[in-house]
Amino acid sequence: MKKIMWIIAVLPMAVTITVFQFIPDKIPAHYDLEGIVDRWGNKTESFILPVAILLITLFWHLMAYVFEKNAVKAKTEKERVKLESSSKVFCIVGVFHALMFGIMHFYILYLSYVQAKNGALKAAFDILNLYILNL
């Protein structure tokens, strides 16, 4: 399970490194509530989220490791099973965390590329307006 967690966590960094040469030098870095770009940034800022994903995955990995080591040292079978179960939960949370933020990063990377290429000032997918329209 830890291998899967790390594969999913490294994937956004690998994709960012791969597409880095195709990203324009200036990309949208922040949007206001209406979906209008209010800050443009350097393309190196696209590495912030992949690095954060790797750091938080490291946290989940270390938490699972600590619980696995404590399970080996457990005095009772019940305590061992509980610690092993907790370790598995940390791995599952790590997998879903990396997956969720990885998908977000891919979407942000795609939108940054499209908007920077077209010189768009407004987000292509405005979540706030979509929510208000569906009320």
**pLDDT tens for residues 34-62?**
767 778 888 888 899 999 999 999 999 99
pLDDT of residue 127: 52
**pLDDT tens per residue, range 9-36:** 999 999 999 988 888 788 777 777 776 7
Confidence grade of residue 134 (pLDDT, cut at 50, 70, 90):
very low
Please give the tally of structural domains in the chain: 1
- Please tell me which residue, 78 or 121, carries the higher pLDDT value: 78
**Is the pLDDT at 121 greater than 90, yes or no?**
no
74 found inside a domain:
yes
Q: In angstroms, rounded to a whole number, what is the distance separating the alpha carbons of residues 52 and 72?
A: 31
Ramachandran angles phi, psi of 109, nearest 5°:
-65, -45
115 found inside a domain:
yes
Range of the domain at 53: 2-125
pLDDT of residue 114: 74
What is the model's pTM? 0.76
132 found inside a domain:
no
Q: Name the one residue in this structure whose structure tokens are 């750091």.
A: 55
- Please tell me which residue, 76 or 31, carries the higher pLDDT value: 76
Three-state SS for 119? coil
Contact between 58 and 110 (Cβ < 8 Å)? no
